[in-house]
Structure 1
Amino acid sequence: MARTAKYYHHGKSPAAWAGSIAAAIGFILAAVGSLLGPNWPLVIFGAAIVLIGALATMVMKAMGLGQP
């Protein structure tokens, strides 16, 4: 029997949640880092968190945990 992916309505998938939370944390860190001087290591770390969240979202979507 063919296994069908679960349908998630309006971005309520685990992939969407993981990406949104990672992006929010990354943007907050980058914003705080830019206001503190700017503190470039913190800004770069926040940007890296945003990119890791985007990659995690794509991987989770490919695993079937996202909206098709």
Structure 2
Amino acid sequence: MTDTHDPGHGNSPAAWVAVTIMLIAFALGTVFFWFDLPMLVWASAGLLVVGAIVGLVLAKLGYGVRGPKYGAKVHD
């Protein structure tokens, strides 16, 4: 059964890049918090925002789920 209204659940290059950047930012922020480095914690928070912006920009450039540069993989 094929659902034509499936949003793709974020399985696109834009989503993968955004989530990867945000995971790295969160992990670094956790380490910096543990070592009591507040400036680097805030820098990690900024990187988290950058990850979200990069994902939106890539989606606008066509690498999102509905973008012309994205080819969905067919599952058998």
Give the paired residue count: 60
Normalising by structure 2, what TM-score? 0.71
- How far the C-alpha of 1:67 sits from its partner, in A, is 1.9
Superposition RMSD in Å = 1.5
Larger radius of gyration: 2
Identity %, equivalent residues: 32
Residue matched to 2:43: 45
Structure with greater contact order relative to length (CA < 8 Å, sep ≥ 6)? 1
- How far the C-alpha of 1:20 sits from its partner, in A, is 0.6
Residue matched to 1:65: 63
Distance 1:21 1:47 in 2: 14
Distance 1:58 1:16 in 2: 9
- How far the C-alpha of 1:65 sits from its partner, in A, is 0.6
Contact kept, 8 Å, 1:29 with 1:45, in 2: the verdict is no
Residue matched to 2:54: 56
Runs of 4+ in 1 over 3 A off after TM superposition: none
Distance 2:40 2:27 in 1: 10
Residue matched to 1:4: none
Instruction: Indicate yes or no: 2:21 matched with 1:16.
Output: no
- Structure 1: tracts of 5 or more residues without a match: 1-7
> One-letter code of the match for 1:66?
G
